[in-house]
Chains A and B, each alone.
Chain A
Amino acid sequence: MPQVCLYFHLHQPHRLSPITVFDVGNHPDYFDPVSSGDQEIFEKVALKSYRPMLGLLKKLLNKHPDFCVSLSISGVFLEQAQAFAPDVVALLQDLVKTERVEILAETYYHSLASLYSPSEFEAQVLKHIATIEELFEYTPRVFRNTELIYSNDIAALLSTFNFSGVLTEAVDRYLHGRPKTQLFASTTPDKIPLLLKHAQLSDDIAFRFSNKSWDWYPLYADRYLRWVEVYDQHEYVNLFMDFETFGEHQWADTGIFTFFEQFIADFLARDWNTLITPSQAFEPYAERRGGIKRTKSILEKRNELPIYDVPDPISWADVDRDITAWRDNDFQYDTLRIMYQIEDDIKATEDAQLLDQWRKLQISDHFYYMCTKWSADGDVHAYFSHYESPFEAYRRFSIALADLLGRLSALRKTTNGAQDRDRSIEWYSKIIGLQPVSTTPAR
């Protein structure tokens, strides 16, 4: 009886090519589509997941007038789709034309900018929105951050955007026993409405579906429907997961496509069930399109929502639903530190190519690969990584970073003219986090 909100995430990172120390300073292509494996992987996943699942969604949209779904599509996904499988972009455009497929806003580079840099975060969100508008003639109204990362501070960053709502994870330690199936509001003055992921029911599909040692294996649509229908009609059951769940994480031979098709048919066959998109849930709390000034009545309505107070960042990843998948060990802390320390200098060069390379290095996956947590999450990390180990991920990223700093330094010299040595030294010291000392040669 609940209102079910389906949301699937499409993303492929730009992986690092096998660059070596000898490439530093020799203009290596960090993201060569062939040697990085990007093209091969994208084509494989397109075959196994993107095409069949988008085809299935199209079929369901045709068949069921009540069917709707929301998608988030990273900018770097769209770049690769355009390069390696343009038909996937065309399929997405077809879906959006039905007006029953909602596209969400996010950071173009699937980055962790929200944790480090308000200015970079804003730039990436705007770039993403512009890309979606251009490709789909559609303006996203709802936001989802990279891996559903969210905190009070991030809500404050979002306040400037006027989104109608935000998606994130339901984390028990911040729910304080309250049901996650209701709308919440942020702690910020504008009280941004929030929809929280139903982890149990989402992960039943995303992670457990093909697990033969799971008590409920094999999962059939009727059983799953019973679990969903436990909830009341005023409740939201938010099934958020990777798009690649369908056909890639769970292969076709697990029956995932049949299961999904059957579940939708069974669910919609009953009058009291409804599917919604996030915008529909947020509708009563949103001002109209066209930028009419936020009225008092909207804020009053939002004030009625329970507050989701998240002091430390949460996400949908790993057992702890925190950000330790990307920022936990020294590899991650130090590379991220340097990455965001050079932001102003990168932007000051006004070199579009350098800016793009720096931003591609911000893709959260690079830091995910460096994760050294080896518990239940280790298997998941290993599944998603093309590196033999987190050490190799760090080793290769450092090489790219060293090269990037060299390029940046050279461009700064060109821009600033013959730069004196002391200024160059001061700059390097700042970047690597050291205090410069006297440059007099020692004996």
Chain B
Amino acid sequence: MIGWEYPPHNSGGLGVACDGLTQSLAKSGTQIQFTLPYNFKSKVDHMTVLDCVDPSWLDEHGVLLENPPFLAYDQAIPQSAPNLKTDMGMDILRTLPQSELERKVYQYADRVTTEGTNQSPKYDVIHAHDWMAYPAGMKLKQKTGKPLITHVHSTEYDRSALHKGSDFITKTEYEGMVMADVVVAVSHYTKRLLVERYRIPASKIAVVHNGITPLVYPPDPGTHHFASERPVIVYMGRLTIQKGVQYFIHLAKTVLERNPEALFVVAGSGDMYHELLFTTAREQLSASVLFSGFVRGAQQEKLLDRADVFVMPSISEPFGLVALEAAQRHTPVVVSKNAGVSEVLPGSIAVDFWDIEKMGAVISHLINDRDHHKQTTHKQLSDLDSATWDNAARRMRAVYRSAVLGK
């Protein structure tokens, strides 16, 4: 399995998904060699972690110059253009690696190929997670002839909010999927996108929904955590255009017209942070929309426990694991129709992300009607019964089988 991030060094859903999936796969007898582009210091016993670190990423003391995770999902800032030649046409130039990140992906591919070739008797299938791992997967497939599965957790179209993103990354994604024996999409929403935007044959794409790890300790839902006198509506995720977080601020304004005492919390960090702060002040929402910064662990749990409504207004969301986490903590979820998670959480309320009025009305209804709130919470909880990583692992093993047998 070719990874890029793994808890505790994860920037978002990818690391969490890799954790949940590998745990359940291992439980059902799958042996996993998992590669990471950094020195993995935490202890895991369900799989073997292979550090695939290029020496150029280290300083003279052998310490990584940059801390993991290597923000594969943030806007990459072009820093250098290696191998630039004057006779290259625009069509070639546009597909060259533009950033340190993209170059790192290729160096990672080399390290994974070396390591993967050495370990080749130990595995039957190559499983690559998202575009950062595809070059490695393709190279390793060429070298070993083993079947390749490209697992699509997120695409460049999602990340650029259905606009045109980086040509280089789109091309890498396309090549990875073309060369794959099976493409795994995290939702039917994503499968549709892969067919429509990347022209990948639907017959080649299997849908394996993410699961969620059951809570070890029971949740502690309720208003006692903070702001107990006010309805609390939470956004949690990266502050990027893809996530539709800008709609959350406008949504706040709509809800406040009905529930002026409502408190909105934006949890996360990202390149839209400063813009969102300015929008909040300009819309005169300074005491109604608060920014918690990036939260993890106990704080993340507390926020979801406290939330009266959790909102995910994504413009394009392949899955959206955090919505399941909110559901686990007895919080009604209002989710964009362009989000895969609603497929496994039919009890949540799906609304078009751009329909601010409708979404605002839905939120107010949840706040003001306790019965509706309770019913939604219960429906979601029963949805979670089947949204397990064990189910995901079962489907994934079927994919492995077909990839090996299809060879």
Write the residues of chain A forming the contact surface with B, with a CB cutoff of 8 angstroms.
Answer: 20-26, 329-331, 333-335, 337-338, 391, 394-395, 397-399, 401-402, 404-406, 409-410, 424-425, 428-429, 431-439, 441-443
Contacts and interface: CB of A to CB of B under 8 A. Distances in A.
Contact of A23 (B226, B273, B361): B226
Interface stretch (B255-263, B331-339, B389-397): B255-263
B260 A406 contact: no
Nearest to B263: A402
A394 B364 contact: no
Contacts of B282: 330, 334
Nearest to B257: A437
Given A21-B226, A441-B365, A330 B261 contact: no
A429 B260 contact: yes
Given A334-B281, A401-B286, A425-B260, A20 B365 contact: no
Given A402-B287, A434-B256, A441 B281 contact: no
Interface string B259-282: 111010101000001100110111
B203 to A, nearest CB: 41
Contact of A398 (B256, B286, B368): B286
Interface residues of B, number: 43
Interface stretch (B122-130, B189-197, B227-235): B227-235
Nearest to A331: B281
A402 B261 CA distance: 10
Contacts of A329: 278, 281
A398 B227 contact: no
B239 to A, nearest CB: 12
Contacts of B263: 24, 402
A137 B299 CA distance: 52
Nearest to A405: B287
B309 to A, nearest CB: 13
Contacts of A330: 278, 281-282
Contacts of A331: 277-278, 281, 286
Contact of B226 (A26, A333, A439): A26
A29 to B, nearest CB: 15
Contacts of B286: 331, 334-335, 338, 394, 397-398, 401
B227 A24 contact: yes
A431 B287 contact: yes
B229 A441 contact: no
Nearest to B260: A428
A20 to B, nearest CB: 7
A391 B277 contact: yes
A443 B287 contact: no
Interface stretch (B151-159, B288-296, B316-324): B288-296
B379 interface: no
Contacts of B96: none
Given A21-B292, A406-B230, 20 more contacts: A20-B292, A21-B290, A24-B290, A25-B229, A330-B281, A331-B286, A333-B281, A334-B281, A338-B286, A398-B280, A398-B287, A398-B291, A402-B227, A405-B287, A425-B261, A429-B257, A431-B287, A434-B256, A435-B257, A439-B368
Contact of B265 (A21, A397, A409): A21
Contacts of B75: none
B284 interface: yes
B329 to A, nearest CB: 15
B285 interface: yes
A21 B267 CA distance: 10
B364 A334 contact: no
A406 B229 contact: yes
Contacts of B365: 441-443
B302 interface: yes
A434 B226 contact: no
Contact of A22 (B225, B253, B274, B285): B225
Contacts of B265: 21
Interface core residue of A399, A405, A428 (most chain B CB under 10 Å) = A428
Nearest to A24: B227
Contacts of B288: 402, 432
A112 to B, nearest CB: 16
Q: Which of B229, B260, B364, B368 has the most CB of A within 10 A?
A: B260
Contacts of A24: 226-227, 263, 290
B91 interface: no
Nearest to A437: B257
A435 B287 CA distance: 16
Contacts of B293: 395
B369 interface: yes
Given A24-B290, A410-B229, A432-B287, A438 B258 contact: yes
A246 B25 CA distance: 69
Contacts of B284: 334, 337, 432-434
A429 to B, nearest CB: 4
27 contacts: A20-B292, A21-B226, A21-B290, A22-B225, A22-B303, A25-B228, A25-B229, A25-B230, A334-B285, A335-B281, A335-B286, A398-B291, A401-B287, A402-B227, A406-B229, A425-B259, A425-B260, A429-B260, A432-B256, A434-B253, A434-B256, A436-B257, A436-B260, A437-B257, A442-B258, A442-B364, A443-B365
B281 A391 contact: no
B273 to A, nearest CB: 7
